[in-house]
Amino acid sequence: MTPDDVPAAERVSDEGFFELDSRMRRTHEPAAERRTDPHRAVWLERTRHLVRTDPGGCWVAEDGTGVIGMATSFRRETLWCLATYAVLPGRQGQGIGKPLLAAALQHGRACTRGMLSASADPKAARVYHQAGFELHPQMSMSGTVDRSAIPVVEKVRDGSASDIDLMDSLDRATRGAGHGPDHELMLRTWRLLVSDTTTGSGYAYLNERGMPALLAASNRRTATRLLWAALAEGPERTTLGHLTPANRWALDVGFASRLELQQEGYLGLRGMKPPAPYVHSGALL
Ligand SMILES: CC(C)(COP(=O)(O)OP(=O)(O)OC[C@H]1O[C@@H](n2cnc3c(N)ncnc32)[C@H](O)[C@@H]1OP(=O)(O)O)[C@@H](O)C(=O)NCCC(=O)NCCS
């Protein structure tokens, strides 16, 4: 993938995920929606960033009609992560995706750890299992936040670039590798909350919709405080995504704020245990 391919790759990913959401939608859920313009802008900026930092980890498949498949992946220290992976609906299940993933995995061949957030697509689960990833069920909690349940939150402040060293240390302690240059990207596109006290430290990013997108902390107490702060600052209707059973503290907060729990894809891991206290980002892990 080159920077010029990024808009075409975005269209493939939008088509792929819209069709996936329509196909996997449960009967009680609202109809699948197209990617919004603000989300598209974040997607494009993130993918350009990954093509810049990891050109060898980003690939497209094309034929006479143009780009029909894409995969973006990146290395941070000893960790390889898969950011996005999609093939056009109608072209899936025909052997296009597997060589794309193989090319991306080749970029991480020297890494001792691997991490990805898998969709509920049965084809995706199959190829990740075959590639040696352990699949840990992922949950999400959504609904209207019961504001009366939010406790008084102290010792949380807005963060800045001066917190990057602290955040990289927390990343290493929880997932084994700092986010490095991805913190600069997240600081440009998202809002950062930080808690740094004598008893513990942690950080949380709120995405372009004001919902928790990534959280790491040195202990559950600090993680809990940050998640409450994120809910207090966020919209009325929210989603806490990418929760694993290793992060029961996050479910405690979700249930206390009267959100509803459901199962949603998998956290795929190689050479590591599910990070905690940690809520991963779907693409930047
Ligand atoms: C996941 C995805 C990128 C894989 O690309 P693809 O071109 O479909 O993959 P391939 O055809 O190379 O391989 C798919 C595998 O699933 C199998 N498969 C095909 N249809 C299947 C089905 N309905 N259920 C389960 N497995 C199926 C194929 O046989 C193949 O396995 P095999 O080679 O061992 O026989 C693509 O299906 C996709 O874009 N899905 C929607 C978006 C998505 O979920 N992306 C992943 C996000 S984490």
Cβ of residue 108 lying under 6 Å from some atom of ligand 1: no
* Token pair in block for residue 214: 């990534």
Q: In this structure, what are the phi and psi dihedrals at residue 127, rounded to the nearest 5 degrees?
A: -70, -30
Name which residue sits closest to atom 43 of ligand 1, judged by CA: 86
Is the minimum distance from the CB of 124 to ligand 1 under 6 angstroms?
yes
- Measuring from atom 45 of ligand 1, which residue has the nearest CA? 86
Distance between CA 111 and CA 80 in Å, rounded? 6
Residues 11-37 pLDDT 10s: 999 999 999 999 999 888 889 999 999
What length does the chain have? 285
Q: Which atom of ligand 1 is nearest to the CA of 82?
A: 48
Report whether 226 contacts 240 (CB < 8 A): no
* CA-closest residue to ligand 1 atom 17: 123
| Rounded (5°) CA angle 21-133-138 | 45
CB distance 131 to ligand 1 below 6 Å = no
The pLDDT of residue 28:
85
The answer to whether 162 and 196 have CB atoms below 8 angstroms apart is no
Domains of the chain: 3-111 (3.40.630.30), 142-279 (3.40.630.90)
Q: Which of the listed residues 123, 135, 138 should we mutate to test ligand 1's pocket, taking the one with most ligand atoms within 8 A of CB?
A: 123
244 to 38, 120, 140, 222: CA distances (angstroms): 27, 15, 9, 18
DSSP state of 61: E
Cα 166 to averaged position of ligand 1 atoms, centre (Å): 39
CA–centroid distance, 29 to ligand 1, in Å, is 24
Decide: 282 in ligand 1 pocket, CB within 6 A.
no
Q: Give the DSSP letter string of 156-209.
A: -EE--GGGHHHHHHHHHHHHSS--THHHHHHHHHSEEEEEEETTEEEEEEE-TT
First to last CA, the chain: 21
The confidence score (pLDDT) of residue 35 equals: 94
- Alpha carbon of 227 to ligand 1 centroid (Å): 35
Q: For ligand 1, atom 5, which residue shows the shortest CA distance?
A: 97
Cα 135 to averaged position of ligand 1 atoms, centre (Å):
16
Which residue numbers in the chain have pLDDT < 70?
Answer: none
Q: Whose CA is nearest to atom 22 of ligand 1?
A: 123
Percent of the chain whose predicted confidence (pLDDT) is above 70:
100
The pLDDT value recorded for residue 268 is: 98
Note the pLDDT of residue 27: 87
CB 238 within 8 A of CB 232: no
CA angle 94, 95, 99 (to 5 degrees): 155
Distance 54 CA to ligand 1 centre (A): 24
